[in-house]
Amino acid sequence: MELQTVLASLVMPPFAPLLGMLLAFVFWWFPDTSLFSRLSLPLGILSFALLWVCATPAFSGWLGTQLVGERPRNQSVPQAVVVLGAGRYRDAEAARERLSATSLERVAWAAQHAPTELPVLVSGGRVYASEQASEADLMAGFIQDVLQRPVTWRENCSRTTAENAVNSARILHDSGVESVVLVTHWWHMPRAAKAFARAGLQVQPEPVGSAGELLPRAQEGLLYWLPSAAALLRTQVYWRELLGSLWYYWKPLPPERSC
């Protein structure tokens, strides 16, 4: 799990262009007649330009549109709602954990847009051993205590989207559920929906947001082409999803994971 995260970081901004600039600086110290020395300036300019482009709302918006695919057509009536976790915040000093903003968006979206008469399954485990509660337990607590809606199933063991699908499918199949409303963010939905379909569930997507979302204060004009931390973060999220979709295309689903 950690190895996959490290390998993905190596080919994503900001690490990849920063590495290019570092290599350009190192090459600059080689003798003037060497190939490395002649490559230092072009490599530095290319790496800087790549980092600039990746941090613009224009590029992050375009990259997000590459994630939008054809929605799966579910002809069956959904029998349950599945909400996927998306991380947590950890307060080391207070020894407390709470749902991340992304997880809260998914939970709130499910409460507002998913059919209220359907039972709910929340899915997400502990990604790291140091984490206290599973994401499923954190989501279930918020849904029941704050939103006043019961949670029927908790899938507490998964660490990845593929494990979300396999573990959730086993729980739901045991309860006779074959068709679900799947709640996750729009940029995560293509990969998640395919994984759940491969796990044997019919999926009705209920994505949080859409690719038409724009960053605040970056809708038009010069700001659309100027780099920002928010745009770079979105580029990183979308790029990771594209890599994940490619990885899932070739890799079979994992076996069910126990806690």
pLDDT, tens digit, 9 for 90 and up, residues 167-203: 999 999 999 999 999 999 999 999 999 999 999 999 9
pTM of the predicted protein model: 0.89
Sign of the torsion angle spanned by Cα atoms 137, 233, 250, 189 = positive
Q: Is residue 135 a part of any domain in this protein?
A: yes
Query: CB burial class (10 A; 0-12, 13-18, 19+) of residue 95?
Result: exposed
- pLDDT at residue 4 tops 80: no
What 8-state DSSP symbol labels residue 78? Answer: P
Q: What is the C-alpha to C-alpha distance for residues 164 and 70, in angstroms, rounded to an integer?
A: 21
What the block records as the tokens of 142 is: 């918020």
Model confidence pLDDT, tens digit, residues 128-160: 888 889 999 999 999 999 999 999 999 999 999
**Across-strand partners of 207?**
184
Q: Is residue 217 a part of any domain in this protein?
A: no
Q: What is the C-alpha to C-alpha distance for residues 52 and 99, in angstroms, rounded to an integer?
A: 32
Q: Is residue 234 a part of any domain in this protein?
A: no
The confidence band for 121, taking pLDDT boundaries of 50, 70 and 90, is: very high
Q: Is residue 254 a part of any domain in this protein?
A: no
- Checking DSSP bridges between strand 80-84 and strand 120-123, what pairing results, if any? parallel
What the block records as the tokens of 95 is: 């020894």
SS3 state of residue 184: strand
Q: What is the C-alpha to C-alpha distance for residues 96 and 91, in angstroms, rounded to an integer?
A: 5
- pLDDT at residue 59 tops 80: yes
Q: Is residue 222 a part of any domain in this protein?
A: no
Model confidence pLDDT, tens digit, residues 21-54: 999 999 988 887 788 888 999 999 999 999 999 9
Q: Is residue 66 a part of any domain in this protein?
A: no
Mean pLDDT calculated for residue range 82-87: 96
Alpha carbon dihedral 220, 224, 228, 231, in 10-degree steps, equals 90
Q: Is residue 219 a part of any domain in this protein?
A: no
User: Do the beta carbons of residue 202 and residue 179 sit within 8 Å?
Assistant: yes
Q: Is residue 10 a part of any domain in this protein?
A: no
3-state helix, strand, coil in the chain (%, to 5): 50, 15, 40
What 8-state DSSP symbol labels residue 222? Answer: G
The domain in which residue 133 lies consists of 80-210
User: Do the beta carbons of residue 123 and residue 83 sit within 8 Å?
Assistant: yes
CATH number, domain of 144, equals: 3.40.50.620
The residue with greater pLDDT, 228 or 2, is 228
User: Do the beta carbons of residue 187 and residue 159 sit within 8 Å?
Assistant: no
Model confidence pLDDT, tens digit, residues 240-249: 999 888 888 8
- pLDDT at residue 73 tops 70: no
- Number of domains within the chain: 1
> Strand runs (DSSP E) across 93-155, as ranges?
96-99, 120-123, 153-155
